[in-house]
């Protein structure tokens, strides 16, 4: 939540998490993250939380899609190596290690991938806005860097000549899929006049 909260607050929209709902800002957001599911589920979750709390609710979901793997890990990004852990939630390293194993024979020119973030913002009266952000790159041959989390060490950015895990926090926030989705959300809220509602 803290990364998303910082992004929203940098764009001028205070956000509250979980049970800390109150009158601390112009928009209260309930963040539902961690479970990678389809866009429709994000919309349903945002609607349900808005209905239950009487506050605007934001559901966000991020994942990695690899072209050579027909979009995998996709909705299974956080649990990609589950089949190798005996049912225990896999670590980030276990997930990207499995990905690198599957990509071992894939040539460099076919290692395209994208991080994608879907956000659904619902109001108690039923209004709904969804947006998406993406970051395109390649799956690296080996992990590099220790900044970030998830697949960051194996997501290569050709224009930077480094992985996402080698970027500074400021660089990552500027180009990330989640940052792009937050900026689109801000534009929508500002142009629609809904930020105060």
Beta strand pairing status for 128-139 and 112-122?
antiparallel
Mean pLDDT score, 66-93 = 92
Q: Whole-model pTM? A: 0.76
Q: Give the model's confidence band at 25: pLDDT under 50 very low, under 70 low, under 90 confident, else very high.
A: very low
Domains of the chain: 1-13+34-192 (3.90.950.10)
pLDDT at 28 > cutoff 60: no
Provide the CA 132 distance to its chain's centre, in angstroms.
9
pLDDT at 81 > cutoff 90: yes
Average pLDDT, the chain: 83
Check residue 82 and give its pLDDT: 92
* DSSP class per residue in 59-92: EEEEEEEEGGGTT-EETTGGGTTGGGTTTSPPPH
Whether 146 is a known active-site residue: answer no
- Encode pLDDT of 90-126 as tens digits: 999 999 999 999 999 999 999 999 999 999 999 999 9
Q: Tokens for 66?
A: 């690899």
Q: Give the model's confidence band at 145: pLDDT under 50 very low, under 70 low, under 90 confident, else very high.
A: very high
3-state secondary structure at position 122: strand
> In Å, how far are 20, 46, 89 from 16, measured between CA atoms?
6, 14, 27
Mean pLDDT score, 45-69 = 91
Q: Looking at 61, 92, 146, 152, which residue is catalytic?
A: 61
């Amino acid at each position: 939540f803290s990364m998303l909260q910082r992004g929203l607050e940098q764009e001028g929209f205070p956000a509250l998490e979980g049970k800390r709902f109150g009158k601390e800002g112009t928009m209260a957001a309930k963040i539902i993250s961690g479970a990678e599911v389809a866009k429709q589920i994000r919309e349903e979750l945002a609607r349900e939380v808005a209905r239950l709390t009487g506050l605007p609710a934001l559901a966000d979901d991020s994942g990695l899609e690899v072209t050579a793997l027909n979009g995998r890990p996709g909705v299974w990004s956080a649990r990609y190596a589950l089949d190798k852990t005996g049912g225990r939630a896999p670590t980030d390293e276990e997930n990207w290690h499995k990905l690198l194993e599957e990509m071992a024979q894939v040539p460099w020119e076919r290692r395209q991938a994208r991080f994608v973030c879907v956000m659904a913002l619902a109001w108690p009266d039923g209004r709904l806005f969804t947006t998406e952000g993406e970051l395109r790159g390649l799956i690296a041959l080996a992990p590099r860097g220790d900044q970030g989390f998830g697949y960051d060490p194996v997501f290569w950015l050709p224009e930077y000549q480094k992985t996402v895990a080698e970027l500074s926090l400021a660089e990552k926030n500027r180009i990330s899929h989640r940052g792009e989705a937050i900026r689109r959300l801000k534009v929508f809220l500002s142009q629609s006049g809904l930020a105060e509602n």
